[in-house]
Structure formats: C-alpha cells, structure tokens
Amino acid sequence: MPLKHITPSEAKKLVDEGAVLIDVREAYEHVAENIPGSRNAPLSRLGRGAIGGTKLVFFCKSGARTRMNARALADCSEAEAYILDGGIEAWKAAGLPVKRG
C-alpha cells in the first residue's frame, strides 16, 4: 500500500495522538539532530516487519530518502504509515522542536 505524504503539522497531530516518528537516517545523523521522541531505524538496517506500532511517520533530512524508499518502508511494518514531506528540515521550518546532539 502506498504511503501517504503529510505535512509537519499533520505529522505533529498524529504524534500527539500516539503515532511514532521513525527517523530513517543513519545513527550518526540522528545523534547530531533529531525530533524529540523519534526512534532511529536506519534504512540500511530495515527489514520486512522490523518496526512495530499502530501508526508510523517516517522521516529523513529532506524527504528524498523516504520518497525513494517508500515501498521498503511500507513493507517494514503492518502499521498505518506516512511520510513526513520535507523531512526534519520541513519540521524545523514549521517551528517544531528538534534536539541537537
């Protein structure tokens, strides 16, 4: 099933309702800067059925990695899943909080 692309404000609303943010960047990128409460699950390590949860919002730096790997991301969980358009950069541009390493 294709993943729906959502805005930072839509992602924030889903997170407030219990969705889990999944950072698909590499661990060193996540440590340097991340969205508070997000889980790191690098694309390089994802496998089928690897991520649990009922609603997931995937993100990377700019959205390019998540768009290019949408099929693999959809396959890694049975959860309802979304892609954060623009990644963490769009999240920051929307004035939402980030944590720096």
Q: Which residues are catalytic?
A: 60
Closest to 81 (Cα-Cα) out of 96, 62, 66: 66
- 37-62 burial, b if ≥16 CB within 10 A, otherwise e? ebebbbbeebeeeebebeebbbbbbe
Q: From CA 59, how far away is CA 65, in angstroms rounded? A: 8
